Structure 1
Amino acid sequence: MNQPSIAELSKLIGFLYDGHIEEDPYSAFLAETRRIIDSNFASITMREPKGDDGGLLFVSCEALPKIFVDDHDNPYTDRYYTSNLMTNLPWGTVVSLDECVPYRTLERTELYKYCMAPIDIYHMVGVDLRNANGLRFSVRFCRPKTADNFGPQ
């Protein structure tokens, strides 16, 4: 992982603030963060999928579309989001996937087989935050199985 400079961190904050006005919302923030932390996948969930509401998910991953809005054709947002092992994290606490479930257990789940493995997601780190209205939004970053796990940095 690259150690970001103050200039890079400032640039990321700018990308985050401007993300809502991009043609592909938050794509600059997600792509630049992926570059800095050597990640192959990044996402921001602004609205969680619930019932008939497919949610609002912005993604940075070469293998997937950039935005999922009420997408019931996507197996993750339609079926597997509720079985995600990293939902409803403690507010403001960065958590890694292996803190939630052992990798051997993960590899036996449908979530892993149908949603993660096909796009080479294995190591994951995330944080859940609250917006100004107190609603949860989530940020996740992932690496492939062949990469190093996220460390304490």
Structure 2
Amino acid sequence: MARSVEWEARPVSGPSERRGGRSAVAVVAAVLPAVSEDSMNKHELHGGARYVGGKVEKAVGDLVDSRDWQVAGVVDQVAGGAENLFGRAQSIAGDVADATPSLIEEARERTARTASKAADRSADVARDAREAVRGNEGVVMAVGAAIVGYAIGWLIHGRRG
């Protein structure tokens, strides 16, 4: 499947913009491609970019010993990780929803095959029973009469106890 990718710069605000600079998240988001609907989930991509940007921002904060940059970096890491996880959950839910109709159709086909096999097997058993009875009608009648006689005797005398 071919992905359509368009490059665009997206403005992202960060704590360093208050001082007139661009945050690391803004830099990372500016170079990432815009995602079309038929490719990767937007939340996965944006969350990953925000996480990486937060890592860079925290590293810069550690380097210049700026508590604002460090805190902003950790916040961006946590928010980016959460958004990426949300995007992954959306993708999985979409995959399950896409797979469900085919699973239902497969279950219907299996059920139909199983019912067909059961019907064929019961027809074979009935045919075998008819063939076994042929030529032995006297024995079958005697066994049938014995069962009926036992049932009548049980009804007449019932249980005594």
TM normalised by structure 2 equals 0.25
Hey, which of these two has a bigger chunk of helix by percent?
A: 2
Decide which structure has the larger Cα Rg and report it.
2
Higher relative contact order (CA 8 A, sep 6+): 1
Hey, which of these two has a bigger chunk of strand by percent?
A: 1
